[in-house]
Chain A
């Protein structure tokens, strides 16, 4: 049987499961399917197991183009947009994995509530994608990571079993915490079909205070001052000079900026002004404030190289680095040294008070193919043991290799025994 014949049969079977209009062949072999029910997701995975086919789940493709997935079947979850439960009095919501972050926020925003996940490109990024990548935005500082407010998941395991973990209530320790396993597993264990979340009251009034510094070191001294103060801002974000220049080309490119976003009454905001003191160079409210945070959230998605309009996201790698907060400075210095020593360009943002730095790196002359290895090596040398690195859009998102591969394999075998999900990428 030739590959084409297999593909024809496969396409035929998948059409029977998901419907003709939701199934199409990929130009370079393989099939896209877009199921509209969790049962169909399970049927696709069972079929893939029976026929030894690999499957790659895809959401809004904000991290990685679905076209890059090398699996036999690409499983688009964009049709799973059902609302499973929503009671604003309970501050909980459950939605299908294909719901975008923007749709979710629009729904709960009408009741003055807020979903605390603020990944780049919320109009495209889906709930399933956010969970699979454990991605976050500036709200990570004040509201925690998605592992902290996801209270339940429904999913289909690699071998086609429909199951769930958690539930719909904010406090629940019944059974294994499967949310934790699936969040950040990059679709290698199961396909998330829906999830429930804890919501937060939307702040009634916010202000953003900006402080500019000549060096990263001074900026981090200010970070420590804020962290040790009684203040508890919603966001505390560092923006490097290059990142700022790319977000707002009209600005000077020599300042490291700490952006502190606070919510509360006039009296509370006055206290922020007093505590933050003379370091504050600018204060933003209303539209200016919203625009600035959108630019940070979306960086580098909307940024372009000055001169030739090349989107940064097309030529760069986005590296998520997490270290103990005290080790942020050595990380930034190591990245800066790379820049100073060669053609590598590094633009940084980050929730630095929780030890996070997002480094967007690319090669200045764009001749050498990939700068990733060089960057990861520099990070390893400067950070020591306590270093977590994720690289979006890679077939293996963990370039340092996990601490406990044997346990990861055991979990993988339990949920995806035939290695169907993202086969041959990580395991």
Chain B
């Protein structure tokens, strides 16, 4: 099927104004928040599950690959189109279908923006717990695909802990329902399996999420340290004191100065590191824990521990944290964000290692991360116009992730594997591990219609697929 015919068919399915195919429009869909790019051949905006199913069937019969896309805020390339691929964008499936406050559930379409859901249920005293830094823009569909986290996953878990049911369009166009409103399901936990499968099993078109009640009290503390090491040791000291904060974030001195210059969050300019510590719950409990955390910080040589006095101060402290990535954009044309995880007792060691890697390659690396669960986000600054720099940055990034794995950790805590880390999967998984995952992939998506080239190492995916070289649309168009 030639490209114009495909576009025509897509318009018949979704409507005349629901398909983009002009190069200037497509450019907007060629990237996410990571470093990879690929221009899709078309973008379609379905408005219903039925339309998604029809698009899926068309992809299967016409032989073009498709990838679902939320807001394109992902950091691992999960929503980047494969060569010759069509993007299924969820901007028009963005409704909150139902809020069931009594049962703490909401039914949402995948295009609903994360923050909008929490805003929408705030008057009921409820919220949706996963809170990626991009929560003002990222969609819940994207959160489901990548199993996204955020600062508050320390206490509440990642997206999979907050999803109980899914409507999924499988690669053969069949619409299935996994789970439901109940906390358990009849049969296998296919909901749990599907969350975080990075769009390689099916396309999710409806999501039943768990809502949480807002806590009675929140205390937000800023622990200020002279050295990164003191801050890093405090992280496991807090946990050792039997306290699980709702969030426990760390910014190193260099990063916090950059953030302060951009956001004016009130961070001290001369500190070696700060910890942003949030405690939530019953007022009495929070007050006791705040006191205990303050003590632990001082035992670990904190210079000062401040507490946000009101909601404005709290919001300001978080503004600095959540806008940190953007703030670093003032210092370099681009950055490469890593997502490694180490056991939290290994944080001091990995930070020293990262410093060494920066020195070795002459790269500026900032650290701003979810310290409480050992989830690092080293931000490596670079200029993408220089291909040598990009390559060096990726080598440095891989070295850091290799060390994370050697310390008993992982290559991704919340961003997903995507394109970016697919070839690092063998660091974590044996051939047999990957074979088992691939057999599950093939049980649903054997023809690779859906999001090919993601998650699995390229060597394993070099099979007969709807890839670029044999692609009928592309060959016809001579692209």
A residues lining the B interface (CB < 8 Å): 85, 87, 89-92, 112, 134, 144-145, 147-148, 157, 161-165, 167-181, 183-185, 189, 200-202, 204, 227-228, 230-232, 264-265, 267-268, 270-271, 320, 322-326, 354-356, 385-390, 398, 400-408, 410-411, 413-415
Contacts and interface: CB of A to CB of B under 8 A. Distances in A.
Interface in B415-460: 415-417, 421, 425, 428-430, 432-437, 439-444, 455
A413 B288 contact: no
25 contacts: A87-B343, A87-B345, A89-B239, A144-B157, A157-B436, A161-B432, A163-B435, A165-B437, A169-B341, A172-B412, A173-B158, A176-B441, A177-B147, A181-B190, A201-B239, A228-B213, A264-B284, A268-B284, A324-B102, A386-B180, A388-B182, A398-B186, A403-B177, A406-B174, A410-B443
Nearest to A426: B187
B409 A169 contact: yes
User: Which of A385, A386, A406 is packed against the most chain B CB atoms within 10 Å?
Assistant: A386
B85 to A, nearest CB: 22
Contact of A175 (B192, B343, B429): B429
Contacts of B373: 169-171
Contacts of B435: 161, 163
Interface in B240-256: 240, 242-244
Contact of B100 (A92, A147, A324, A389): A324
Nearest to B241: A201
B41 interface: no
A324 B105 contact: yes
A163 B432 contact: yes
Contacts of A91: 239
A403 B178 contact: yes
A128 B102 CA distance: 35
Contacts of A167: 408-410, 428
B184 A322 contact: yes
Contact of A89 (B174, B236, B283, B414): B236
Given A89-B239, A162-B432, 15 more contacts: A144-B157, A163-B433, A164-B429, A169-B410, A170-B373, A171-B153, A173-B417, A181-B189, A181-B190, A183-B192, A189-B188, A271-B284, A356-B183, A388-B183, A404-B177
A174 B374 contact: no
A268 B282 contact: yes
A191 to B, nearest CB: 13
B182 A324 contact: yes
Contact of A267 (B102, B185, B190, B288): B288
A324 B164 CA distance: 11
Given A89-B236, A89-B239, A387 B193 contact: no
Nearest to A200: B244
Nearest to A402: B187
Contact of B443 (A169, A320, A403, A413): A413
Contact of B103 (A157, A170, A230, A324): A324
A232 to B, nearest CB: 6
Contacts of A405: 187
Interface residues of B, number: 89
Contact of B425 (A175, A322, A386, A389): A175
Contacts of A87: 343, 345
A179 B161 CA distance: 13
B242 A170 contact: no
User: Which of A147, A189, A400 is packed against the most chain B CB atoms within 10 Å?
Assistant: A147
Contacts, number: 262
Given A161-B432, A180-B160, A407 B184 contact: no
Contacts of A323: 182
B433 A400 contact: no
User: Which of B192, B236, B244 is packed against the most chain A CB atoms within 10 Å?
Assistant: B192
Given A171-B370, A386-B182, A414-B439, A232 B282 contact: yes
Contact of A325 (B102, B185, B415): B102
Nearest to B153: A171
Given A163-B435, A176-B197, A204-B242, A171 B375 contact: yes
Nearest to B280: A232
A172 B184 contact: no
Nearest to A410: B443
Contacts of B213: 227-228
A411 B186 CA distance: 15
Contact of B428 (A174, A231, A355): A174
B176 A407 contact: yes
Interface in B212-256: 213, 215-217, 236, 239-240, 242-244
Contact of B189 (A171, A183, A268, A385): A183
Contacts of A356: 183-184
3 closest A-B pairs by beta carbon, nearest first, are A180-B192, A402-B187, A230-B216
B15 interface: no
A325 B103 contact: yes
B437 A271 contact: no
A411 B417 CA distance: 22
A162 B442 CA distance: 19
Contacts of A144: 157, 161
Nearest to A42: B432
B436 A178 contact: yes
Interface string B258-297: 0000000000000000000000011111001000000000
A326 B146 contact: no
Nearest to B178: A404
Contacts of B366: none
Contact of A404 (B190, B242, B415, B443): B190
Given A264-B284, A324-B100, A175 B185 contact: no
Contacts of B170: 407
A136 B281 CA distance: 24
Given A175-B437, A265-B288, A134 B184 contact: yes
B186 A401 contact: yes
B414 A354 contact: no
B166 to A, nearest CB: 10
B196 interface: yes
Contact of A184 (B188, B415, B437): B188
B322 interface: no
